[in-house]
Amino acid sequence: MAVGKEIRTQIGSIKNTQKITSAMQLVAASKMRKAQERMGATRPYADRILEVIGHLACANPEYNHLYLDEREVNRVGYIVVSTDRGLCGGLNANLFKKVVAELGAHHGKGVEVDLAAIGSKALGFFRSFGGNVIATVGQVGDQPSVADLIGSVKVMMDAYEEGKIDRLYVVYNHFVNTMTQKPMLQQLLPLPKDQSVDLSASMGTHWDYIYEPDAREVLDALLIRYVESLVYQSVVENLACEQAARMVAMKAATDNAGQLIDDLELVYNKARQAAITQEISEIVGGAAAL
Amino acid sequence: MATTMKCNVVSAEQSLYEGNVQMVIASGDLGDLGITPGHAPLITSLKPGPVRLVFENGDDELFFVSGGFLEVIPLQITILADTAERAENLDEAAALRAQEEAKRLLDEQQSEFEYSRAAIDLAEAVARIRVIEQLRQRRA
């Protein structure tokens, strides 16, 4: 009986797709757990280094570092952290929307923008959208290392030091929970005032440090490390977001495939039943005619 | 006089130790340091090399750091390592290979950038091997 052959094959192909999406969902779930752990593991470094910078800034208040100086804004830099792979829902799209809105705002004020793209998707996006990309890192993988990122971060920091850009931001997805990821914009340079003020207030006492080799050198190196660690932190967080978003997207895809299969099976059964009924009535009709 | 102090060892990628220690021994930029409770406030950058923690119960553990900072404030020590590993996780074969490779690059007399890069790699590999040997000596 050749009823609804097309429907059968369609159901078969949807079932195959469903298998793939549900496998991807499981993989993303386990990767997300690991990425979340890594996200937790890297946070202490940024916290500690901020603490030390706070101590130093109080111990040596007369030294005003370039990274703490507010300048008039003529040109700004953005480090855009995206994923390497797609199939993760609207994660990247939402992020880019935010960046584009920012770019539009700056454009309106006549401020020019330099970009650093981390992750293949950002690179692809800015290639088609346009924008002055001065540094890129692609394929950071599931376990990004600081060494992979340092190059492009350094390009941006050098640009800041040379006065080519007057402000540096990082844009990434903030991991709220498994269901929610929020695109975030964080100012890296100059170090946001409220943060440094906060520090000096909380550290009432200051110590007369012994510096090896000397105060300026140590503070310089620390501030650079701090910015690098912030960028690293945002990459790791974005990675956790990617896996979470992929898990949710793939769960939705699997559910939709199930729904589609149910609908098609209903149509198929109806067609089969109609064919049987027709056949019976033909036989009965034929018998009556005899 | 307190006999222990708080100690944190963190690298950019993870937190390695958080707790009380009796003494910390590290290799600073200007020489090796041994820090016990009551040390004057100090900030120093670190060279690639071993960091040894002596815990409250007298046990100790060896770490390798590839550089970073050490901050001492009264009764608290923070080590901010660029990368850090527990000594027993170090791979001696890989370190020796890295040393050979760096030496080879140094001999080849390349551009200044590559030369300094290789010199840094060599220093790091040598420091790793030093840590492994130190660990082995203590075990013997």
Give pLDDT tens digits for A81-103. Answer: 999 988 988 999 999 999 999 99
Is residue A201 predicted with pLDDT exceeding 50?
Answer: no
pLDDT category at B79 given cuts 50, 70, 90 is very high
Give percent above pLDDT 90 in chain B.
15
Q: What is the pLDDT of residue A170?
A: 92
In SS3 terms, B52-83 reads as EEEECCCCEEEEEECCEEEEEECCEEEEEECC
Is residue A206 predicted with pLDDT exceeding 70?
Answer: no
| pTM metric for this prediction | 0.80
Q: What is the pLDDT of residue B130?
A: 83
pLDDT digits (tens, 9 = 90+) for A98-137: 999 999 998 888 888 999 999 999 999 999 988 888 888 8
Mean pLDDT of chain B: 85
Is residue B63 predicted with pLDDT exceeding 70?
Answer: yes
Mean pLDDT of chain A: 86
Size of interface A-B (CB pairs under 8 A): 80
More confident site: B32 or B83: B32
Which CA distances in Å does A77 have to A90, A116, A158, A288? Answer: 24, 8, 11, 87
Is residue B129 predicted with pLDDT exceeding 50?
Answer: yes
Is residue A203 predicted with pLDDT exceeding 70?
Answer: no
B-interface mutation test, from A140, A142, A209, most B Cβ less than 10 A away: A209
**Residue contact A52–B43, C-beta within 8 A:** yes
Instruction: Give the pLDDT mean for A66-84.
Output: 86
**Residue contact A228–B12, C-beta within 8 A:** yes
B-interface mutation test, from A48, A224, A229, most B Cβ less than 10 A away: A48
The residue with tokens 């040598």 is B126
Which CA distances in Å does A96 have to A90, A142, A185, B58? Answer: 10, 21, 11, 54
Please tell me the distance in Å from B48's CA to the nearest CA on chain A. Answer: 15
ipTM of the complex: 0.74
Query: By the CB < 8 Å criterion, does A224 face chain B?
Result: no
Give percent above pLDDT 70 in chain A.
91
pLDDT category at A205 given cuts 50, 70, 90 is low
pLDDT digits (tens, 9 = 90+) for A137-191: 888 888 888 778 888 888 898 898 888 889 999 999 999 888 899 999 988 888 7
pLDDT category at B60 given cuts 50, 70, 90 is confident
B-interface mutation test, from A37, A45, A224, most B Cβ less than 10 A away: A45
Is A48 strand, coil or helix?
A: helix
Q: What is the pLDDT of residue B34?
A: 92
Query: By the CB < 8 Å criterion, does A146 face chain B?
Result: yes
> What sections of A91-212 are H helices per DSSP?
91-108, 120-129, 146-161, 193-202
pLDDT category at A196 given cuts 50, 70, 90 is low
Query: By the CB < 8 Å criterion, does B76 face chain A?
Result: no
Instruction: Give the pLDDT mean for A221-234.
Output: 86
Query: By the CB < 8 Å criterion, does A63 face chain B?
Result: no
**Residue contact A44–B74, C-beta within 8 A:** no
Element (H or E) spanning A27, and its range? helix A5-59
- The partner residue sitting opposite B69, judged by closest CB among A38, A42, A222, is A222
pLDDT digits (tens, 9 = 90+) for B6-32: 998 998 778 888 899 999 999 988 889
Cis? peptide before A213, omega within 30° of 0: yes
The span from the CA of A38 to the CA of B13, in Å, is: 8
The residue with tokens 């120093």 is B44
DSSP classification of residue B21: E
